[in-house]
Amino acid sequence: MLPEAFLERMKAQLGPEYGQFLASLERPRAVALRYNPLKGERPNLPFTGAPVPWEPEGVYYDPEARPGLHVYHEAGVYYLQEASAMAPVALLDPRPGEKVCDLCAAPGGKTTQIAGRMLGRGFLLCNEINPKRAKILSRNIERMAVPNALVTNEHPETLALRFPGFFDRVLVDAPCSGEGMFRKEEAAITDWSEETVAMCARRQAEILSSAAKLVRPGGRLVYSTCTFAPAEDEGAVAAFLEAHPEFTPEPVEAPWFVPGENGSFRMWPHKLLGEGHFAAVLRKTEGETEEITEERGEKLPKQWDSFAKELGITLPAGKAVFFGQSLFWAPEELPGLQKLKVLRPGLELGTVKKDRFEPAHALALWLKECANVQDYGPDSDEIKAYLHGEVVPSKVKGWCLVCADAYSIGWGKGDGNVLKNHYPKGLRR
């Protein structure tokens, strides 16, 4: 049962379309996934169907299928993402080589969508203020083979003070009352109240104020929610523009969505195959930038050099950063990390031991080519055993990249007869 106060407001908000809106909430949900261009060519998936119109990598899939259990999901070949939730990044339109910030990034759907469009080039900061959700974000960054992301667990204002005018594009997918998810999540209904809407609007204003400082002059800011509440949507944007005259609505082509005031768009469930969403596109017309100190790169250790030479691994442009006990390969634009709560400063290469190099799972997922490869069929007994953590047959000797139909999924170490399993214990089925 939907809250009565919500229904009354929606009736006034939609007028003659109110009946169509209610009817759409009774229909089965359309489910979608998004392919990951960082993993190479798309596989042929029998359970996928029509494309998502606003996202070139998005497709709808059969709701009876369970793609989250497929080995391709473990390999980061695709991300399960609600179709309307793909719209804000389509409007953000990030490009390779840019500096991009996803300010409220967990669990990582929009961040990995941004990363796919950046194709590993440029610098992506993805932040989540909640520590537990930040860990989930970091794991998804790893699974989706993102090499150029700094994952932080900070308050937005901390980042605003640290990186003023630094980013070409900033996404604020703000925490909201979640009205657009009523059909998808029952908890969204039980947690809803008019007080929650007002509380979310206040929090969104604070986040937007921080985001404004992060955008460089000429840069783009996209604000989005998954709610229908005007106080959190058009009202939030209007208040922001009044408080920040350096921003202006930016016209963009988006024929799939319903345009509104101040560069905003609505995704209505009775007008497209997806849930409810809102987004606004804004341009920063003036302001100042400050010089940002970059993180100093380290020299790659000889243990890595030997390992990389043996397996034929070539790294893209970047710099080495030691973080804890691990060696990371970070984007060249990586800023200084002092006094920041960092979970991941780039692509984790592995751990340097006294006389050897122990490769990280993240490196395996990122690699497309390797001198030592053991490729199993995606439905084979061998790949099922590998995901369970068992030894698997192989004639390969030494470190080898384990693949499922050419998609890298983890490491193994062979003795000529079997592979010792190095698939992370926490991921094993």
**Residue 226 annotated in active site:** yes
> Could you tell me if 111 and 170 are in contact, meaning their C-beta atoms sit under 8 angstroms apart?
no
Residue 31 φ then ψ, to 5°: -110, 150
In whole angstroms, what is the distance from residue 297 CA to residue 320 CA?
A: 5
The closest alpha carbon to 173, from 105, 266, 233, belongs to: 105
Per residue, the 3-state secondary structure of the chain, as one string, reads CCCHHHHHHHHHHHHHHHHHHHHHHHCCCCEEEEECHHHCCCCCCCCEEEECCCCCCEEEECCCCCHHHCHHHHCCCEEECCHHHHHHHHHHCCCCCCEEEECCCCCCHHHHHHHHHHCCCCEEEEECCCHHHHHHHHHHHHHCCCCCEEEECCCHHHHHHHCCCCEEEEEEECCCCCHHHCCCCHHHHHCCCHHHHHHHHHHHHHHHHHHHHHEEEEEEEEEEECCCCCCCCHHHHHHHHHHCCCEEECCCCCCCCEECCCCEEEECCCCCCCCCEEEEEEEECCCCCCCCCECCCECCCHHHHHHHHHHCCCCCCCEEEEECCEEEEECCCCECCCCCCEEECCEEEEEECCCCEEECHHHHHHCCCCCCEEEECCCCHHHHHHHCCCCEECCCEEEEEEEECCEEEEEEEEECCEEEECCCHHHCC
Q: Given 101, 104, 226, 370, which residue is catalytic?
A: 226
| Cβ neighbours of 18 (radius 10 Å) | 15
Q: Write the single-letter amino acid at 175.
A: P
Residue 105 φ then ψ, to 5°: -95, -25
Return the active site residues: 226
